[in-house]
Structure 1
Amino acid sequence: MHTDRIPVQGMNDEQDAEKVNKALHDVWGILKAEVSLSKGEALISYDENAAQLVDFQQAIRESGYDVANYDGPFHGDKQ
């Protein structure tokens, strides 16, 4: 399992956050997704053998939101 934090731009309300959450859950390999409107980010845990960070970034873009630049992945626990 791998965990990453993805900054998301363009979310204005809970409906936007739910739309991003649904898009993330549609990606094969997702184990957990938490979208925070107040922080403007998504925290995801996924099977790195089934998906890559770029897959989740693309899903966010395809749902109508932007992925902000960031300094690198969140170094969460690998199990």
Structure 2
Amino acid sequence: MKIKKLSIQGMHEQKDVELIKGALLDVWGVRQVEINLPQAEAKVSYNDAAASAIDIEQAVIDQGYALDREEV
């Protein structure tokens, strides 16, 4: 099990949290998602035999959000 931390640009309200969390949980291998709205960060626990960090990042990007590359 690995943990990926993401800094997400454009996440401002609860609707954004729900959209991003749902997209991340849809990634095969993702086990848990914790999102900190005030800090615009997500912590994703995943099985690295089933999912990659790129899969996780792409799920957020596909929803129209940008990632802070310093955290990725």
Aligned to 2:39: 39
Runs of 4+ aligned structure 1 residues displaced above 2 Å come to none
Aligned length: 72
Deviation at 1:4, TM superposition (A): 1.3
TM-score for the superposition, normalised by structure 2: 0.93
Amino acid across the alignment from 2:37: L
Higher radius of gyration, 1 or 2: 1
Q: How does 1:2-41 map to 2 (within 5 A)?
A: 2-41=2-41
Measured in 1, the distance between the counterparts of 2:63 and 2:40 equals 15
The percent identity for this pair of structures is 35
Gaps of 5+ in 1: 73-79
Q: Which moved more, 1:51-60 or 1:62-71?
A: 62-71
Q: How does 1:31-70 map to 2 (within 5 A)?
A: 31-70=31-70
Map Cα deviations across residues 13-68 of structure 1 (whole Å, 9 max, x no partner): 01001100001001000010011111111100000000011101000000111111
Aligned 8 A contact 1:34 1:43 in 2: yes
Measured in 2, the distance between the counterparts of 1:10 and 1:51 equals 24
RMSD of the TM alignment (CA)? 1.1
Deviation at 1:71, TM superposition (A): 5.0
